[in-house]
Amino acid sequence: MGENLNNSGQGLLEAIIGISIITIGLSGALTLAHSGISSHYEAETRVIAANLAREAVEIVHNIRDSNWLSGGAWDSGFYNGADYEGVPMLSYSSGNWQINFTADDFTADTAKVYQFTVGDYNNLFVQSVAKPADAEETLYKRMMTLKAICYKNGNEEIRDSASCGNDDKIGIRIIAEVRWTEHGRAHSLVVEDSVYNWR
């Protein structure tokens, strides 16, 4: 009879150990799956941020080319007086891009990026003076700084200004930055490029 009690106790102990091993294995698998999902989401948000920053750079190229085609000054619309920090906005009436200079930093409402959820512009990311009716605010904010590239004494200089003064303005240094907060952590992505007056 003593042997039967020992066997019962040993069987119970083996069952507890087996269940523990299975629980640890499942816990590890679930942790790995959660980590994979989190990594995928973080990669997706970073790709969107990179595309938003790159889009801002392409918008400056587009505005310069449009200025050339219209016969206007090549750098028209790249500054507002001494202000050379702004956000890119699409004019729905004309279909043209323009730079809005009301935002001075990332706390400004115009720095917010929205995404259309229905209609003709579904899934399009935009910045606007006010929240568009068919759009939702995203976790992204975007700003651009457009610094003058000047030619002085045979050298290029990037100025913290929209103007070159008495020197020749030959280009614009574009600094596009996107910021977002994800899982309580602040992120930032910057794309820089230059556009020149080759014409």
Question: What does the pLDDT look like over 16-66, one tens digit per residue?
Answer: 777 777 777 777 667 666 666 666 567 889 999 999 999 999 999 999 999
CA distance 196 to 93: 28
Read off the tokens for 96. 């043209």
Q: Is 49 helix (H, G, I), strand (E, B) or coil?
A: helix
Give residue 58's pLDDT. 94
The model's pTM is 0.78
Query: Contact, 149 vs 172, CB < 8 A?
Result: yes
